[in-house]
Chains A and B, each alone.
Chain A
Amino acid sequence: MARAAALLRIAAAGLLAAFLLMPQRFAPLFAPLTQYGAPPIYDQGNLLDLALAQLGTVCCAAFASTIVAVGLGILVTRKSGAEFLPLSRTLVSFGQTFPPVAVLAVAVPLVGFGEKPTLIALFTYGLLPIFENTIVGLQICPPALLEAASGMGMSARQRFLSVELPLAMPLILEGVRLSLVINVGTATIGSTVAAKGLGEVIIAGLLSNNDAFILQGGLVTGLMAILLYDAISAVERRICRTARVD
């Protein structure tokens, strides 16, 4: 079963790589979706460049979200920061419920067109899963372990770095993974404000009534999300193979 899943993943990665590197080879597959001799493969830009640009934007945003959300999560689970928990929660939830399109609309007048508004939208959209998982991960640490750590003579800082954080790591990574996967899809809307990405392909398809373009943009985005999900799961398993609390 696990073996079949691994094979499927390798096949998906191979397919994605093949399509991005030599898209013209796949032209016959997409040709039936086109009308009046329109090009079956997106020809106004390099698909590989677009995919990498989108991935880059998502990763930058996720990196910033992770730093802020994990930092905030740590702060509000300390005794000294506990009173900020309700406020932080409200702010972060607001970031998630405010539609990314609306963030773009607000951000463009402030920072202009291009990557920046997209980064802002993805950053705010990606905070919540990481923040909530960080809090839960830190809060479920068994009290007996905390007492053991203190009883052995660890300082508060040592206890945090060598017991609390490693035990919360599986959940924190889970949050990062969720956030990343959601944002790979969400990032396509960045193309409406001239950020480089696969949204361009989808929008071009919509404008010229070319279903092949829409399908290409969607499929590449979807495959990237799935493969990213798997890749982080693998990292997670590797790091956390042992961090089991029973």
Chain B
Amino acid sequence: MISIENLSKQYGATTVVDAVSLAIERDSITVIVGTSGSGKSTLLRMINRLVEPTHGRVLIDGKDTAGEPAHLLRRRIGYALQGHGLFPHRTVAENIATVPRLLGWSKQRIGARVDELLTAFQMEAGEFRQKFPHQLSGGQQQRVGVARALAAEPSVLLMDEPFGALDPIIRAKAQEDLLAIQRRFGTTIVLVTHDMEEAFRLGKRVAVMSHGRVLQYDPPAMLLTRPADPLVARLTGIAHPALRLLSLMTAGEAAVPGASPGPTVAAAASLRDVLSELLWRGADSAAVVDADGRPCGCLTIEAILARGRAS
């Protein structure tokens, strides 16, 4: 767990981050979202001390991060940034091996880890190991950037707008991959973005920042239904708050026992997608099936509508 206690950063008379305290849960994705200039990136960089705080402290698993040299701390914390920052003069394998090399891992261990990560990111190891960054597509570069950040098996991964440079389709895929990777490696991820959709999609909890302060730190559904500040409501609910709320719940969670003659939907599908499907087909209810195709209940259109209400 990461606890951020009363953390501030001042540059001269300007306060960029103002007395922020956050408890970040382990093994989950926490998103810090805000407009540009809200101090979100500075807050993230104070966790690995790329920016030294003016006041306050950061504890990782109860240990103050100020207690060790910054470059050693950073080897334990993964860091992925916008535009991936891959070293152009090094191959994909060498890029991924950056931190393990700094830590003095053996050659065999590094090689095995590189192959494992490339496979996890659906890149054929034999084909990609020796390629250079400029030979990859944007999406591949981004994946190598995340693989590099995860190489030394860090328990914490910091990501600064990691998908900012990707087009919408590759971006959606990258977000899905990140969720899968998080489940697979069980990493604690802190991700900074200005994109509210992305925050809702990825974050188990979302911190909304403005002018250096955290306005609200809650699960996405809470931000929608109980905004703590008018600005939060404005940021989260600009368009279709009800549909957004529905997109946070899956058919599996909402299904009730029973059968339905209507269309079949996957348990992992969001209620928003199910609603759209039912409207399109003119049906009143859907049969929900799990990943293996076994029926696990039904879902009526009224039940979905009830879940889209603010209270």
Q: Write the residues of chain A forming the contact surface with B, with a CB cutoff of 8 angstroms.
A: 144-145, 147-155, 158, 163, 166-167, 242-246
Contacts and interface: CB of A to CB of B under 8 A. Distances in A.
B135 to A, nearest CB: 10
Contact of A151 (B48, B86, B89, B91): B48
7 contacts: A145-B85, A148-B79, A148-B81, A153-B71, A153-B73, A154-B102, A244-B89
A176 B205 CA distance: 56
Which 10 pairs, one residue from A and one from B, show the smallest C-beta to C-beta distance? A148-B85, A153-B75, A151-B79, A153-B74, A243-B89, A144-B85, A153-B71, A155-B71, A166-B89, A152-B98
A154 B69 CA distance: 11
Contacts of A244: 88-89, 132, 134
A151 B74 contact: yes
A148 B48 CA distance: 12
B50 A147 contact: yes
A149 B88 CA distance: 12
B75 A152 contact: yes
Contacts of A163: 87
A163 B102 CA distance: 13
Given A153-B72, A244-B89, 10 more contacts: A144-B82, A144-B85, A148-B86, A151-B48, A152-B102, A152-B148, A153-B74, A154-B98, A245-B88, A246-B134
A168 to B, nearest CB: 11
Contacts of B81: 144, 147-148, 151
Contacts, number: 63
B74 A243 contact: no
A153 B85 contact: no
Contacts of B90: 242
Contacts of A246: 88, 134
B88 A243 contact: yes
A152 B147 CA distance: 12
A243 B86 CA distance: 12
B241 interface: no
B265 interface: no
B13 to A, nearest CB: 23
B287 interface: no
A245 B79 CA distance: 21
A154 B71 contact: yes
Nearest to B82: A144
Nearest to B158: A151
A39 to B, nearest CB: 54
Contact of B88 (A147, A153, A154, A167): A167
Contacts of B132: 242, 244
Contacts of A154: 71, 98, 102
A31 to B, nearest CB: 54
A153 B87 contact: no
Nearest to B73: A153
B118 interface: no
A158 B75 CA distance: 13
